[in-house]
Chains A and B, each alone.
Chain A
Amino acid sequence: MRDVITIVIPSHPRYLSVIRAVTDRVGQIYEIDEKVVQDVRLAVDEACSNVIKHAYRGDTSQKIILKYSFRPDMLKIVIEDSGLKTQKKSLKGRDLDDIRPGGLGIHFIKRVFDVFEMDDKKKKGNRLMLVKHFCCPDIANISTKSV
C-alpha cells in the first residue's frame, strides 16, 4: 500500500455526505467499478453512522478518522473513533426475515466487504478495518459480489 488517503470529519450526521463524496472520488481515482463504489459508499456511510450513534452516543463534537488505501487486489478502509468500545455482539445485524425498523446497517457493510473486523489492539475507542478483495490484479472494475 503506497498511498493512504486520510480524512477527518466531525461526528455530525451532516458530514456523512462528505464521506460519501470522498468515497466516490477514491473509487474514480482507482477506477473501481461504479457498482462496487456504490456499495462501498453505503457501507462506509453506515459504519460512520454507527460511530455517531453508538460510539459517540450522538455527541457531534468528536472526530471520525477514515483512511483509504488501495492496491490492485484490494481496497482497505480503516475507520477510527475515540468513543465507547463497540461490543462484538452488536456487530451482528438483525435477521433479514424479521421485518422491523433498524438493524440493516451491518448487513450493508458485510455484503460488500470481505473483512469486517474491529482491531482489538486499539485501547481507547474503536478501529474498524474493512477490506474488499478484488479477485485478480487488474479487475478492481469487476464486482466480486452481487446482491
Chain B
Amino acid sequence: MSNWAAGAQSGNSRSANRSDAPAALLAAFISVVAIAYVMQHGILGGVGIAMAFTGFIAFGEMFRIQLPNERVAAPVASAFAVAYALVIQFGSSSQDYGVAQAVVVAAAGACIGAVSSALLGQFRQGAGPTLQVEEIVRRILTTFAVAAVFRPVAAFMLHRGYVVYGQAGQETQHGLLLALVMLVAAVLGTMADVILVGLARSTRQNAPLDRTLKDEFRESLPIGVPTTSSAVLMALAAPWMSWWALVIFAMPVLLSQFAFSRYARVVSTNESTIRALARVTELGGYTELQHADRVADLSRQVGLQLGLSSKQQLALERAALMHDIGQLSLAEAIPGGRPAPGSPFIPGGATILLELEQQHDLAKKGAAVIRDTKFLDDVADIVERQVDPYRPRGGSLDPTLPLASRIIKVANAYDDLVGGSLEADRRLQAVARLREGAGHEYDPAVVDVLARISQPRLS
C-alpha cells in the first residue's frame, strides 16, 4: 500500500463514503433494473460469450493498479467491460443484446473480481482489505454510459443497412463509420468515468472542481488511450476473429497494465526512498522525530484543497519531506527553546527558532543539495523559497513565490509549534499565532485551509 493511500485514509474517510453515495445509489439502481430486465428477457448472443467477458472483467479487476494521488486503475477490466458494450457481432453469432445485458456482465465481473481479490488478500495477509466499492461503481456506470450511447445507434445503423457486416468472403460496408461510432461511444464513456472520479475526489479532498477535473483528464489520458483502443479493436475484430480478437487485441491494454503497474511501483519506491532519507536529519539528531512526515502530510492535504495538480502535488510532498535537509550542514543541531516568553517549549531542530537570515541560509543549502540531483529542480525551487514571507511588510506580493513554498512555510511553522502533540489547546494557540502572521508572513489562504484541517475533529 502506498503512502498516498495511507494518508488519504487518515484524513477524511467518513466524508469519502458520503460523497460517493449518489453514484453508488445510481449504479445500484441501474444494476437492479438491468438484472430484472435480463432475467425477464434472457441472455442474448450466447451465454458462453457473456460468461467469458464476465470472467475477463473479474480477472482484470483483481489486478488493480494504485497510481499516484489516490488514483486506481484496472485497465484490463475496463477494456473488457467497454468491449462487451461495443460488440455487435462475435464470429457468426450476432450480439443483439441491449444496454441491460452489458451492464449486468460488467457488474457481475466487477463484483466477482473485487470479492475474489478481497478473499485472496485475506487469505494472504490475514487481514481483509476493503472491497473498494467505488471501483465497482465506476465499472458499472462507465459500461452503462458506453452501452447507452452505442447500442441504440448501432442497432439503428444495422437495421437501416448503413453498416453491413461482411459474412465469409464479403467485405464490411462502412466499417470505418462503425469504428468511428464505437470510438466516440468509448471516449464518451471514459470521459464520464473521469468526471465521476473527479467529482468524487473533489468532494473528498475539498479540492476545487475545475482544477480537479482538468488534472484528472490529463492524468487519465495515458491509461485511457490504450484501454479505449483495446476495447474498440476487440469489438471491431470480433466478427472475423471471434475469440482470437480477445487474445490478440488485448495486447495494448496488457502492455499498459504491465507498464503502469511498473510505473506505480517505481514511483512508490521513489517516494519511500525520499521518505526514508528525509529521516537522516532525525537520525543525526537535527530534527524532531516524524517532523518531516507530519509536515509532508499537512502540506499534501493543504495542496489538495488548494487545487494543485498531481505533478505539483508530487513536488510539494517531496519538498516537504526534504525541507530540512539543509540542516545537515550545521555542526550542531538547533537547540530547543521558546520563541517568545511564556510560549510552550519547542524541541530542537525547529527552524522558526532561528534568525531569518539563518533560515534563508539553511533553505538555500538544502536547495543546493536537492538541485544536485539534477532531476528535482522543481523540488529544489520550492525548498529554496520555503522561508520567504508571503508579503514582506511594506512590500508587494512576489508572483514568482511558489504556492508550494508558501504551503510548506505554514505547515512547517505549525508543526514546529505543535509537534506531535494532540492537545487541542496547543493546536488552537498555534493556529492563532499563524493567523497573526497571515497576510504578511504567511499566505492567508493557506492558513485558512490549515486551520480547517487542524480543527480537532468531533467524534
Q: Do A and B bind each other?
A: no
